């Protein structure tokens, strides 16, 4: 498995977010190497910010990347379903990229580029928490696939 990327729009995260993400990243097995990348947030708002984020994100993506947008309109998964879906995404044999948007969400053009959309919840989370949740849930889903006892339910 190649590297899996999580590209997150936002400024420098507080220390507690860095600490939490580092803790989970250190637990991933070598076959699932999650790399966090920051993309500066636009100083604009609304549609203008979404468009700027789209352009910046597209500059980071290769046409062959399999893009999963984190979006409240996306599909929700149970932990086991996410583990199964993660395997299906990996089986595309394309580089897997997760993208966590800015405060205004994603523009329609970004949604059209996405190969899939994933919703963490019907609730909306502040960006620092969403970042930790994505990292932890990817770790949890991978641990289910490995038969590791981290996930118990």
Average the pLDDT over 35-40 and give the result: 94
Average the pLDDT over 22-46 and give the result: 90
pLDDT of 3 reads 84
Residue 42 has pLDDT above 80, yes or no: yes
| Cβ contacts of 72 within 8 Å, gap of 6 or more | 105, 119, 122, 124
pLDDT of 146 reads 86
Please state, in angstroms and rounded to a whole number, the distance separating the CA atoms of residues 59 and 66.
Answer: 15
pLDDT band at 148 (very low <50, low <70, confident <90, very high): confident
Question: Could you tell me the sign of the dihedral formed by the alpha carbons of 101, 73, 4, 30, in that order?
Answer: positive
DSSP 76-129: ---HHHHHHHHHHHHTT-S-EEEEE--TT---HHHHHH-SEEE-S-SS---HHH
The answer to whether the CB of 12 falls within 8 A of the CB of 21 is: no
Please state, in angstroms and rounded to a whole number, the distance separating the CA atoms of residues 110 and 68.
Answer: 10
Which structural domains are found in the chain, ordered by start? 4-146 (3.40.1280.10)
User: 26-30, 60-64, 112-116: lowest mean pLDDT where?
Assistant: 26-30
The answer to whether the CB of 113 falls within 8 A of the CB of 71 is: no
* Per-residue model confidence as pLDDT tens digits over 66-114: 999 999 999 999 999 999 999 999 999 999 999 999 988 999 999 999 9
pLDDT of 12 reads 84
* Per-residue model confidence as pLDDT tens digits over 102-146: 988 999 999 999 999 999 999 989 999 999 999 999 999 999 998
Question: Could you tell me the sign of the dihedral formed by the alpha carbons of 90, 77, 53, 19, in that order?
Answer: negative
pLDDT of 2 reads 63
Residue 149 has pLDDT above 70, yes or no: yes
Supply 76's token pair.
């929700």
């Amino acid at each position: 498995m190649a590297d899996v990327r999580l590209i997150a729009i936002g400024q420098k995260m507080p220390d507690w977010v860095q600490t939490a993400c580092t803790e989970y990243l250190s637990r991933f097995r070598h076959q699932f190497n999650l790399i966090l990348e920051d993309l500066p947030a636009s100083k604009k708002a609304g549609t203008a910010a979404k468009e700027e984020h789209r352009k910046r994100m597209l500059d980071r993506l290769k046409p062959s990347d399999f893009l999963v947008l984190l979006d409240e309109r996306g599909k929700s998964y149970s932990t086991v379903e996410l583990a199964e879906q993660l395997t299906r995404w990996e089986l595309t044999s394309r580089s897997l990229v997760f993208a966590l948007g800015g405060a205004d969400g994603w523009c329609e053009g970004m949604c059209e580029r996405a190969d899939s959309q994933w919703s963490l919840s019907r609730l909306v989370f502040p960006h620092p928490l969403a970042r930790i949740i994505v990292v932890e849930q990817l770790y949890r889903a991978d641990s289910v696939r490995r038969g590791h006892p981290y996930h118990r339910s």
